[in-house]
Chain A
Amino acid sequence: MSNGSDTAHESLHPNRLGQWRSLDELAGTPEFEALLQREFPERAAEWLDPVGRRAFLQLMGASLALAGLTSCSSPPSHTIVPYAKAPEDLVPGKPLFYATAFAQGGIGTGLLVESHMGRPTKIEGNPQHPASLGATDAFAQASILSLYDPDRSQTVTNGGQITTWKAFVAALTSRLAGSSGAGLCILTETVTSPTLAWQIRQLMAKYPQATWVQYDAISRDAVRQGSRLAFGEVINTVYRVERAEVVVTLGAEFLAAGPGHVRYARDFFARRRVEAAPLNRLYAVDSTPTLTGAMADHRVTVRQQDMEAIAWAFAGALGVPEAAAISASMPQAAWVAAAARDLKAHQGASLVVPGDEQPPIVHALAHAINRALGNVGQTVIYTDPIEADPADQMASLTALVANMRAGQVQTLLILGSNPVYTAPADLRFAEALDKVPFRVHLSLEADETSARCQWHLPEAHYLEAWGDVRAYDGTTTIQQPLIAPLYDGHSAHELLAVLQGDGPQDGYDIMRAYWQTRLSGEFERAWRTALHDGVVGGTALPPKTPGWKPSFAPAAQPAQVFEIIFRPDPTIWDGRFANNGWLQELPKPLTKLTWDNAALFSPATAERLGLQNEDVIELALGGHSVQAPVWILPGHPPDSVTVHLGYGRTRAGRAGSGIGFNAYLLRKSTALWSAGGVEIKKTGRALQLASTQHHQTMQGRNPVRVGTVEELKKDPHVIAEMGEAPAKDETLYPPVTNEGYRWGMAIDLGACLGCGACVAACQAENNSPVVGKEQVLLGREMHWIRVDRYYAGGPDAPETLHQPLLCQQCENAPCEPVCPVGATVHSQEGLNDMVYNRCVGTRYCSNNCPYKVRHFNFLQYSSDQPTLRLLNNPNVTVRSRGVMEKCTYCVQRINAARIRSKEDGQPIKDGEVVTACQGACPSQAIAFGNLNDPVSKVSKWQASARNYGLLAELNTRPRTTYLARLRNPNPELEKA
Chain B
Amino acid sequence: MTQLFHRSTNTLARVTLFGAVFLVAGIGWGVSALLTSPYASGVGVPVEQPVPFSHKHHVADVGLDCRYCHTSVERSSFAGIPPTKTCMNCHAQLFTDAPMLEPVRASYRTGKPIPWARVHTLADFVYFDHSIHVKQGIGCSTCHGRVDQMALIWRVNTLFMEWCLECHRHPERFVRPRSEVFNMAWEPPADQAVVGAKLVTEYKIQTQTSCSICHR
Q: Do chains A and B touch in the complex (CB under 8 A)?
A: yes
For chain A, residues 76 to 112, give those with C-beta under 8 angstroms from any C-beta of chain B: 76-86, 91-94
- Min CB distance, B168 to chain A, in Å? 11
Given the known interface contacts A73-B121, A895-B216, the answer about A91 and B75 at a Cβ–Cβ threshold of 8 Å is yes
Write out, one digit per residue, whether chain B residues 36-78 have a CB within 8 A of any chain A CB (1) or not (0). 0011111001010000000000000000000000001001111
Residues B210 and A829 in contact, CB atoms below 8 Å apart: yes
Determine if B118 and A80 form an interchain contact, defined as CB atoms under 8 angstroms apart. Answer: yes
- Once the chains bind, are A73 and B122 in contact (CB under 8 Å)? yes
Residue numbers in A under 8 Å from B124 (CB-CB): 41, 68-69, 877-878
Judge whether B85 and A86 touch: CB under 8 Å. Answer: yes
Closest Cβ–Cβ distance, residue A533 to chain B (whole Å)? 25
| A766 to B40 alpha-carbon distance, docked (Å) | 31
- The segment from A458-466, A517-525, A834-842, A959-967 that touches chain B is A834-842
Bound complex: CA of A922 vs CA of B148, how far in Å?
A: 55
Which residues of B66-110 are within 8 A (CB) of A? 72, 75-78, 80-85, 107-108, 110
Chain B hits for A92, CB < 8 A: 72, 76, 78, 80
A827 contacts B116, C-beta separation under 8 Å: no
Given A68-B124, A92-B72, A877-B125, A81-B215 contact (CB < 8 Å): no
Q: Which of the residues A80, A891, A895, A903 comes within 8 Å of B135, measured between beta carbons?
A: A903
Q: B123 at interface (Cβ–Cβ under 8 A)?
A: yes
Instruction: State A851–B96 Cα separation when bound (angstroms).
Output: 68
Say yes or no: A70-B123 contact (C-beta < 8 A), given A81-B115, A91-B72: yes
Complex interface: chain B residues within 8 A of A895 (CB): 127, 212-213, 216
- Given contacts A76-B118, A94-B75, whether A84 and B131 have CB atoms under 8 Å apart is no
Name B216's contact: one of A30, A73, A740, A891 (CB within 8 Å): A891
In contact, A72 and B123 (Cβ under 8 angstroms): yes
Known contacts A73-B159, A829-B210; A82/B84 CB under 8 A: yes
A826 to B112, CA, bound (A): 47
Q: Cα distance A30–B83 when bound, in Å?
A: 11
Q: Is A615 an interface residue (CB 8 A)?
A: no
A76/B119 in contact, CB under 8 A: yes
B113 at the interface (CB under 8 A from A): yes
A836 CA to B206 CA, complexed, in Å = 24
With A84-B108, A875-B216 as contacts: A899 and B117 at CB distance below 8 Å = no
Judge whether B118 and A892 touch: CB under 8 Å.
no
Interface residues in A878-901 by Cβ distance below 8 A to B read 878, 888, 891-892, 895, 899
B23 at the interface (CB under 8 A from A): no
Which of B76, B113, B206 neighbours the largest number of chain A CB atoms within 10 Å of its CB?
A: B113
Q: Is B161 interfacial (CB 8 A cutoff)?
A: yes
Specify which of B155, B160, B210 is in contact with A72 (CB 8 Å cutoff). Answer: B160
Q: Could you tell me the distance between the alpha carbons of A886 and B115 in the complex, rounded to whole angstroms?
A: 38
**Closest residue on chain A to residue B41 by CB atoms:** A75
Contacts of B129 in A (CB 8 A): 899
A836 and B216 alpha carbons, distance in the complex (Å): 7
Name the distance in Å between B122's Cβ and chain A's nearest Cβ.
5
Taking A73-B126, A835-B215 as contacts, is the C-beta distance between A85 and B83 under 8 angstroms? yes
Q: Does B17 contact A (CB under 8 A)?
A: no
Check B211 for interface membership: any CB of A closer than 8 A: yes
CA distance A68 to B135 in the complex (A): 31
Contacts of B122 in A (CB 8 A): 73
| Contact B116–A828 (Cβ < 8 Å) | no
Closest chain-B Cβ to A653's Cβ sits at a distance in Å of 29
Residue of B nearest to A87 (CB): B83
* Contact of B132 with A833 in the complex, beta carbons under 8 Å: no
A836, B125: Cβ atoms closer than 8 Å? yes
B114 CB contacts on chain A under 8 angstroms: 81-82
Instruction: List residues 172-216 of chain B with CB under 8 A from any CB of chain A.
Output: 204, 206, 208-213, 215-216
- Residues of B within 8 Å of A78, CB to CB, are 118, 121
Q: How far is the CB of B162 from chain A (nearest CB, A)?
A: 10
Contact: B112 with A828, CB < 8 Å?
no
- Chain B residues with CB under 8 A of A829: 210
Identify which of A78, A82, A895 gathers the most chain B CB atoms within 10 Å of its CB. Answer: A82
A831 at the interface (CB under 8 A from B): yes
Please state if A82 and B82 are interface contacts (CB–CB under 8 Å). yes
| A905 nearest CB neighbor, chain B only | B204
- A-chain residues with CB within 8 Å of residue B19 when the two chains form the complex: none
Chain A min CB distance to B18 (Å): 35
Q: Does A818 contact B (CB under 8 A)?
A: no
Chain B's closest residue to A822 (CB) is B211
In the complex the two chains form, what is the Cα distance from A828 to B209 in whole Å?
8
Report B-chain residues with C-beta under 8 Å of the C-beta of A875.
127, 216
Known: A34-B113, A77-B121, A82-B84. A827 touches B40 (CB 8 A): no
* Contact partners of A74 in chain B: CB under 8 A: 40, 42, 121, 123
A135 to chain B minimum Cβ distance, whole angstroms, is 25
Residue of B at shortest CB range from A19?
B111
Known interface pairs A836-B125, A888-B216; A79-B115 also in contact (CB < 8 Å): yes
Q: Tell me the minimal C-beta distance from A72 to chain B in angstroms.
A: 7
Q: Which residues of B contact A29 (CB under 8 A)?
A: 111
Q: B133-152 CB contact bits vs A (8 Å, 1 = yes)? A: 00110000000000000000
* A843-880 with Cβ < 8 A to chain B: 875-878
* A682 sits at the interface (CB 8 A): no
For the complex, give the distance between the alpha carbons of A81 and B118 in Å: 9
Q: Are A69 and B125 in touch, CB under 8 angstroms?
A: yes
A38 within 8 A of B: yes
State in angstroms the CA–CA spacing of A833 and B213 once bound together.
10
Q: Which of B78, B114, B123, B206 has the most CB of A within 10 A?
A: B123
Whether the pair A93, B72 counts as a contact (CB closer than 8 A) is: yes
Please name all residues of chain A whose beta carbon is closer than 8 Å to the beta carbon of B127 when the two chains form the complex: 875, 892, 895
Per-residue CB contact flags for chain A residues 167-199 toward chain B (1 = under 8 Å, else 0) read: 000000000000000000000000000000000
Task: Determine the distance from Cα of A958 to Cα of B108 in the docked complex, in whole angstroms.
Answer: 57
Contact present for B72 and A827 (CB under 8 Å): no
Query: What A residues does B78 contact at CB under 8 A?
Result: 38, 92-93
Contact of A84 (CB < 8 Å), options: B84, B135, B206: B84
A75, B83: Cβ atoms under 8 Å?
A: no
A975 at the interface (CB under 8 A from B): no
- Whether A149 is near chain B, meaning CB under 8 Å from some CB there, is no
A206 vs B111: C-alpha distance in the bound complex, in angstroms?
44
Given known A-B contacts A73-B159, A837-B123, A903-B132, A82 and B113 have beta carbons under 8 A apart: yes
Give chain B residues whose Cβ lies under 8 Å from the Cβ of A73: 121-123, 126, 159-160
Measured between alpha carbons, how far is A69 from B81 in the docked complex, in Å? 26
Minimal Cβ-Cβ distance residue in B for A739: B206
Which of chain B's residues have a CB closer than 8 A to the CB of A608? none
Complex-state Cα separation, A827 to B216, whole angstroms: 12
Tell me if A827 and B211 are in contact (CB < 8 A).
yes
Bound-state CA distance A84–B160 (Å) is: 32
Q: Does A902 contact B (CB under 8 A)?
A: yes
Mark A305-324 against chain B: 1 for CB-CB distance below 8 A, else 0: 00000000000000000000
- Residues from chain B with a CB closer than 8 A to the CB of A300 are none
Q: In the complex, what distance in Å separates the CA atom of A417 from the CA atom of B123?
A: 45
Residues of A contacting B213 with CB < 8 Å? 827, 895
A825 within 8 A of B: yes
- Residues of chain A lying within 8 A (CB to CB) of residue B47: 76
Q: Cβ of A827 and Cβ of B212 under 8 Å apart?
A: yes
User: Would you call A137 an interface residue if the criterion is a C-beta within 8 Å of the partner chain's C-beta atoms?
Assistant: no
CA distance A589 to B193 in the complex (A): 60
Are B85 and A79 within 8 A (Cβ)?
no
A479 CA / B63 CA spacing, docked (Å): 47
B35 nearest CB neighbor, chain A only: A72
Report B82 CB to chain A, min CB distance, Å. Answer: 6
Q: Which residue of A lies closest to B114 (CB)?
A: A82
Question: What chain B residues lie within 8 Å of A34 (beta carbons)?
Answer: 113
Q: Does A33 contact B (CB under 8 A)?
A: yes
Q: Mark A804-834, 1 if CB is under 8 A from B, else 0.
A: 0000000000000000000001111101010
Q: Which residue of the partner chain, among A69, A85, A828, A903, contacts B111 with CB atoms under 8 Å?
A: A85
5 contacts between A and B (CB under 8 A): A30-B112, A77-B118, A77-B121, A84-B108, A827-B213
9 closest residue pairs by CB, A with B: A75-B42, A93-B78, A827-B210, A82-B81, A30-B113, A93-B76, A83-B83, A837-B125, A79-B115
